[in-house]
Amino acid sequence: MDRLQKQFDFILEADKEKFIGRQTYLSDGQRKENDAEHAWHLALMTILLSEYANEKIDVLKTVTMVLIHDVVEIDAGDTYAYDEVGKQTQRAREEAAAQRLFGLLPEDQGEKLRLLWEEFEAQETPEAKFARTMDNLQPMMLNAASDGKAWVEHGVHLSQILKRNQRTAEGSEALWKYAQEQFLLPNLERGTIIND
């Protein structure tokens, strides 16, 4: 029963991801998504788009990775992609959160999820590279669908987007090319992304 209790403790704690707001608007531009919605969307994208991965990936492992990659934000909060000040303390905040949150689980499961989270962060395996590609493309897709609403709101420059996505093609060259053509170029032409 102790093992089961720990599992339910973590599951209930993970519900708090629903309260962590992000800066990306939903496709209708009416409200911003939360971390749980983001993670679900990445999982769906991984299942549907895994055929475009540069290398063969373990889809279940990758889905698990994207489902837990932002759980640390329950304690650490969301750091906006282009918040340079927030990024300075992001790693330390997330490390402390990972220690506490994954520590709620039975040791074997906590260690497994912690290692998956660290693998995602390191972005070295085929699964981690593809997971990061999903994590980068999903907000780009939603920004494009909402006429660049968050990009306009934050005055985002093309150079910032390209810097953030400098490794996106490592997970899928085909999906990065698609994103450039379908999400970035039209918004550059409309002026919702500042061209520098």
The per-residue pLDDT for 80 is 85
Question: pLDDT per residue over 127-181, tens digit each?
Answer: 999 999 999 999 999 999 999 999 999 999 999 999 999 999 999 999 999 999 9
Residue 1 DSSP SS3: coil
Question: pLDDT per residue over 62-74, tens digit each?
Answer: 999 999 999 999 9
What gap in Å lies between CA 29 and CA 152, rounded to an integer? 12
Question: pLDDT per residue over 35-69, tens digit each?
Answer: 999 999 999 999 999 999 999 999 999 999 999 99
What gap in Å lies between CA 65 and CA 34, rounded to an integer? 17
Nearest to 136 by CA among 191, 179, 77: 179
Rounded to 5 degrees, φ, ψ at 155 are 60, 50
What gap in Å lies between CA 13 and CA 29, rounded to an integer? 29
Residue 152 DSSP SS3: helix
What gap in Å lies between CA 14 and CA 174, rounded to an integer? 33
In the predicted structure, residue 19 carries a pLDDT above the cut 90: yes
